[in-house]
Structures are given as structure tokens and as C-alpha cells.
Structure 1
């Protein structure tokens, strides 16, 4: 079968590889769509931290946001799975340790991560092996595009749950990328007043096209973003002082930091109401800092969210019901041969401002 293989930093190719065979308790899925995210781009550039800790090594077969159809089942798997449309959890715990036993398999020290950790092959291929325990069935109303958005949507749903908001309360989402916009859509579906803080007018214009009118530009950032290098988040104020906040018109009942900016966590703590919650789901390439004195003096609860585990079923239901429709976030669907260009950040002008690109491994 054909699979996209990253052989080193900035090097990748479509290769003919042996198709997977399902082991005991596993299925093989024919992949219909796979999403590309920031983690995949870091594998392509060589910046991904697992490459430096030994948890991953080249060659790497990426892809952990996917949807497809079960074509083969292994020993011990109910044959009723054959022909079912599915997506699945990225995090594959050992199933034996205390964390797995407590439902925290996504934190298992010995976990595999599909397309990410310890060599489990990813979904940028015609077929994908998956443990049956990780599968999430998809109803007929959830098409391939929606199915490949369930995994990032599960991350966003968990972040919104962690924010612990009630209808009518105010939420600030920092970072209008895929996860930030998904979190905004989920929160809006729950009756929350959503505000979005971004770096560029382009990203905020796309957010407004989705119906989010309350958008803000990070202070001290030119309208088209930082003049040099990748976005590095909202600017902080004078050394030793609190971050400079935009004129929000009051603090927020919760803040979700879905950005990659090292300055964003400190701004999130400053922007939240005392006694409420800040949720961290974005990761910066450089160490980010939040003054724990501010957390204590404001009695703020800080929550970290890793993975979609526990959020897949809820996200599927939101999509199936039509309460959340994230399909406008997908700019384009391209064949496997164009994956390297996407990972390098090359986008066609006609794709517009939508942040997500999907791959169809069948073409």
C-alpha cells in the first residue's frame, strides 16, 4: 500500500509499504481522510520534542486525525465491526497499569500514540491498524470530513468542559487556530459568550466569518502579525509587571489558551476573573511562564488538557446533531503526494483563511 513517510527533517516521500495485518484485539481501517496538525508539521521540520527525547525517531509515518471504514478484524474482535465507519483515539495505553485502570490511558507511561509516539504508524496511508478499544463509531450523518475532525474536536470539548462555564458567561479563547476555533464553536453551542484573541487580522477575519463578532488583536502586535519569525503570542508589559490587556470591557469567567505563544499563559491568568479557571491546551516551542503568585492571589484554577481521550463520543454527538459544524475549518483536501508541501506550510491562495488541511490517502 502507499504511505507518506518522513525520513528526516524536511525530507519525505510516498512509499510502497507492506499493508498492516490486524493483531489480536485490533482492526485494520481503510483511511478516507486524515488531518494535518501542528504536531505533524513539527515532525516534518524536526522540532517535535519526541524526536529529541527518544519517544519517536525517523522514519515516521504521521497522521492521528482520521476517519475510515473497518476492512479487517483480528482475533477476538466482533466481526460486526466490519464495514463500520469509525474514527479513534490517538492514545493507546498498555491497559494494565494503574493509570489505564483509572481511565487515564492517555497518560500511560508505556502508551503508543498513533502516528506520533513509539513507532505506531499513522493515518497518512491507505490503511491503518487500530486497537478495537480505541475505536469511535461514526453515524451516517458524520461524513469523512467531520470524522477526521472528531479528534481535534475532542481536545476542544475537553478544554471547554474544563473551563466549567454556564450559559451566558464570558469565555476568552487565545489563539484562533483549529483547536481554538473548535473550542469557540463548542462553547457557543452551550450558550457561552465567546471572545477570540489572535495575532493577525487574517485569522480573526476568518473567525468572524464563522459568526464570532467579538475578536481582539493582541496588544503591541502589528495588524499583519509579528514582523519576523513565527507568531510568538501576546506581548507582555514592562519587566516584572503584568501583561498588557486589550480593552476587553471586563475580565472573563474562563480563559482557554489554545495558542503557541510563550507570553499567552501569563496573559490568560491576568484576563480571568478571580476564583475562575484558565485552561491550557496550546504548547509553545519555548518555555512559557505564568506567575504562580498571580494564580494564588487570584485563587485561579489552572487546568492542562492533553489529547481527545474522553471527548470523542461527545464530539461525535455534537457533530451528528448539527449543534456544531466545523466543516468550514477545512481549507482543502489534497492527495498524499501533496502532504509534504502542506507540512512545509505552503498554501494555495484559493484556500482562504481556513486553518485545516485534509489528506485523502486514496488519491
Structure 2
């Protein structure tokens, strides 16, 4: 297919526009997807502001086309791709490893040194556009019970599923999630689905009230309860140390939030409390489990989406303008 399409393009810090760009071609091994929904993520904001570390390391550079949380329908397939993919509803992995290195061969393409990241790293154009080209091996088919909104929440859900899984808690256990944003709330939902008693720690009244509306106990100050696991889903530099301080001896701390400045943890506390600390980078290993949880109704994150806007409104959202709605997530319908 030839011609042009609309896409969000970042040309420098604070510079965002919707441009006509060439429609991607289905090259060998790839598919072209008509994007039905795409999420705006904190990483997209950092690309917009110029704060993302990849811009300093050279893994990302302007101009770039953001968007890595998406769902859509396969419209074209390249050579070597099964034509049965045509018309299927899909989402896809963000992390695209080279598939040849030792890490990729061991199923860890999300930490491949030479990976591309859709809409983020290595020049791979993102999903805040009418169409998106991705490798066929990276797409995941969506069942009928997973609508486009849920489909665009699979990528952040994969991150949250991994954080909840890494906490290694279950029925009868108690966990705290620090940071009631999209990832924190999704993690809380997965923990709750596993029978865990879940509490949330946050800063603003609005975010805590929203969490309570979803059925979670929430607090602005540290809870005075024994905690078997603490998940840090915040961007505060002091949160990892707080998590280690709050968790029960022998418990687990999971770090999935990333602060803009270095975080310091006293490893003496970690050692003397016999605490296990885990870091989670990507949702890649959790995508299938997330789709299954959404499809079966064990987790329904649709209330997290405050509003759905068109491509022309993305720049304002990245600049901090919030549409009406209480949830932390904004979705984009490129067809609007």
C-alpha cells in the first residue's frame, strides 16, 4: 500500500506535531497493523520533554514517532508471513531483540543489548499513527473478549503482571503498592486477583480517592501493617528505600517505577531483614498471561482510561493537559 498517513512526530524537546508520513510497507517477516487504540505513557512524556535517558545515550534521537501501547487489526503481511494473520486483531511486544544474541536465545529479548523498542528506541516508529509496522513474531492475537481498549492495556498490564508475579504472594498475604498510577493500579488488580490483601500508598487526594473507588485501601502516610511484599511503582527517588524499610523480614520488594535521579538503598537493611529485591523492566514475558487475565475477566482495567482523544490532541496531553476523567490513562484513537 502506498500513500501517506497521519502520525505524531516529535522533533525536539517540547516539539510535537501531527504530520503526513509514508504508510509503512509490509517488509519480509513483518505485518502492517491498522491502529485502533494507543495509550499515552510516561515514557512518551519523557521523550516529549527530552528527559528520557535514551536521548542522552544515543539509543533514541529526534525526530521520532512515539507510542508503544497499542491494539489494532492486521491489514498487510510481508513475504514469509502466514496470510492467515490478515484481519486478525492483535497487540504486540514493545521490546524487539535481535533474536541472535545469547539473551535472545534464552528468551530474554527484552534485555537484548541491540534491541529496538517500538516508538522509543532504535528508530522503530511507534503506534501514535494510523498504521504501524512490526515483526510478525512480536504480535499477539487478541480473543473476542479483549476489545481495543483492553488490547491497548496489554503492554502496561504485562509489566504489572510481572511485578505482581515477582512479589510471590497469594491468598492470605498482604502487599503494598507505592504509586497509584497506571502501573501501580494494574499491579494492585493482579495482586487482588491472586487473593492478596492489597493496599496503596500515594501522595495526592485525587489519586487515592480513585484507588478507593476501585476497592483498594489507600493511604497518604505509611501504613502500620505487616507487609509481605512491597511493590514500588512510583517515580520518587526515596521509594525503594521506603519499600525495604516497610516490608516484613523475609519479604520481597519489587521495583518497577523509575525515578529521574538515582535511588539509594541501604543494603545493610536489605541483608539484615533477609529481603529479596527484584527489578522489572518490561512486560514482554507477561503479555500472554495478561491477555488471558483480561479475556477471562479476572482483571478489568478499563476504568483506568480517563478519556480517548484523537492524534491532534496528543501534543497537549504530552504537555500536561488532562482531558476530563478520573483515571490515570489517556488513550488515542488514530482514526478519529
Establish whether TM, by shorter chain, passes 0.5: yes
The reply on whether 1:362 has 2:335 as its aligned counterpart is yes
1:57 corresponds to which residue? 61
- Contact (CA 8 Å) 2:150, 2:302: kept in 1 or not? yes
Distance in 1, matches of 2:152 and 2:145, equals 13
Measure the CA separation in 2 of the matches of 1:204 and 1:249: 17
Structure 2 residue 279 is the aligned partner of structure 1 residue 276: no
Show the 5 A alignment for 1:203-214: 203-212=207-216, 214=217
The unaligned stretches of length 5 or more in structure 2 are: none
**Structure 2 residue aligned with 1:184:** 188
Q: Is the CA contact 2:175–2:230 (under 8 Å) kept in the aligned structure 1?
A: yes
Measured after TM superposition, the shift of residue 134 of structure 1 is: 0.7
Aligned equivalents of 1:84 and 1:168: distance in 2?
Answer: 40
Deviation at 1:22, TM superposition (A): 1.5
Work out whether 1:116 is the aligned partner of 2:120: yes
Query: CA–CA distance in 2 between the matches of 1:177 and 1:113?
Result: 22
Q: 2:188 and 2:164 mapped to 1: Cα distance?
A: 8
Q: Are 2:219 and 1:216 aligned? A: yes
SS of residue matched to 2:285: coil
Report the alpha carbon displacement of residue 325 of structure 1 after superposing the two structures with TM.
0.6
1:303 maps to what in 2? 278
Q: Secondary structure at the match of 1:332?
A: strand
Gaps of at least 5 residues in structure 1 are: 219-245
Q: Post-superposition, which runs of at least 4 consecutive aligned residues in structure 1 deviate over 3 A?
A: none
Q: What's the CA shift string for 1:199-250, capped at 9, x where partnerless? A: 11110000011111x21104xxxxxxxxxxxxxxxxxxxxxxxxxxx2x233
In 1, Cα distance between equivalents of 2:206 and 2:335: 32
Which residue of 333, 340, 345 corresponds with 2:308?
A: 333
**Contact 2:9 2:63 (8 Å CA) reproduced:** yes
Aligned residue pairs total 332
Structure 1 residues 1-363: aligned runs within 5 Å: 1-212=5-216, 214-218=217-221, 246=222, 248-348=223-323, 350-351=324-325, 353-363=326-336
**CA RMSD in angstroms, aligned pairs only:** 0.7
Quote the offset at 1:251 in angstroms. 2.4
Matches of 2:6 and 2:148 in 1, distance apart?
A: 19
Distance 2:266 2:64 in 1: 37
Q: How high is the TM-score relative to the length of structure 2?
A: 0.98
CA contact (8 A) 2:170 2:191 kept: no
TM-score, normalised to structure 1's length? 0.90
What's the CA shift for 1:323?
Answer: 1.0
